[in-house]
Amino acid sequence: MLVVALADEFGKRDALMSEQALIELLQQRFKRKPLPGLTPNWAEFSQRLAQHPDKLQALQWMQDSGGEPALIGLDEQSGECLIADYSAETPKGRRSLCYDDAALAERKEHKPAGSAVQLAAQYGLALLTEAEYQQLQQLGPLDQKSSSWLLTPAEIRAEGGAIFGDYRYGRVFIYHNGAQSYYAVRGFRAMLRL
């Protein structure tokens, strides 16, 4: 499957940093950019990571594909840590993908290497919702030269569309496009719950 091949390309073990180096990098981001109202204990956070090696693998992929994952909040109801791609632009290692596998199947020619939804799911991740994207943008303007596919409501997807967001002219914009479209500057940001 093309998506698996694409994921394998992004996940080459020889190009990855060690798990310890990744944890240290996350800790540096954690300390360097404390977010307003966010007071999780780093020891508790790293213990959660140690208990969920699959989540650590997902974080590793987020980092290696250019996402610069960072702790961006806590889910008030579940207590889960919310980790999202916090790179200035949509991750370079996840661009030129159509929205989902149904859209990929619809393309008759010039097919991209895969789809955003499938690639995220392969690592146990999800695309950001519109609300999560808006919240992430409040931490600082992102996607000023790129755009990111967003988890699309079923009624829009049923009509053949998908939504994406970016930041232009001092504000966040949410647009729509055909789900089968793909662009060199459009990728996706992922959310990991831990």
Instruction: Report residue 44 as tokens.
Output: 């508790």
Which strand (E) or helix (H) includes residue 143? none
Over its C-alpha atoms, the chain yields an Rg (Å, rounded) of: 16
Q: For residues 147 and 175, give the distance between their C-alpha atoms in angstroms, rounded to a whole number.
A: 10
Condensed to tens digits (0 to 9), the pLDDT of residues 74-125 reads: 788 888 888 999 999 999 999 999 999 999 999 989 999 999 999 999 999 9
What are the backbone angles phi and psi of residue 119, rounded to the nearest 5°?
Answer: -65, -40
pLDDT tens by residue, 119-147: 999 999 999 999 999 999 998 899 999 99
Q: Which two tokens mark 37? A: 């109202």
How far is the CA of 168 from the CAs of 133, 145, 151, 157, in angstroms?
14, 8, 20, 25
Over 50: is that where the pLDDT of 6 sits? Answer: no
